Amino acid sequence: MMMIIIIVGVIIGVGVLVTTIFLSKKDKEIYSSMIPFECGYEVIRLFLPSYSLRFFYILLIFLIFDVEIVILLSLPVGIKFINMVYWRSILILFILILVIGLVVEWIIGTIEWS
């Protein structure tokens, strides 16, 4: 049963990918029609300014801690199903990984906003 679900998922994923490739617009457009029109002036730069990596790092930290909160909130449900010593060791290991990650981010300077 699980193998059928995996095969169907792969088929759907490949189907969406192939459909997107065939339906995408592949016309060779003229250069002047691809640049934005700015009141008759020539475009000085073609590319937008790149974002700072700081924003990307903050986004990653937010996503990581968001997932960690979801895992921490679901841990009390596991008390009923597994041994208390095993549950406590999982909780301590998880919090230890969080603290180590936080210390590494602090040392690297990702958390400091200057």
Residue ranges per domain, the chain? 52-114
If we measure between CA atoms, which residue out of 66, 36, 59 comes closest to residue 48?
36
Residue 72 and residue 93 in contact, taking contact as beta carbons nearer than 8 Å: no
Full-model pTM: 0.46
Give the position of tokens 């790092």.
57
Dump pLDDT digits (tens) for 20-37. 888 876 655 555 566 666
Strand partners, 41: 38
Q: What is the average pLDDT score of the chain? A: 78
> Over the stretch 60-75, which tens digit does the pLDDT of each residue have?
888 887 888 888 888 7
Residue pair 114/54 in contact (Cβ under 8 Å)? The answer is: no
Q: What does the alpha-carbon distance between residue 63 and residue 56 come to, in Å, rounded to a whole number?
A: 11
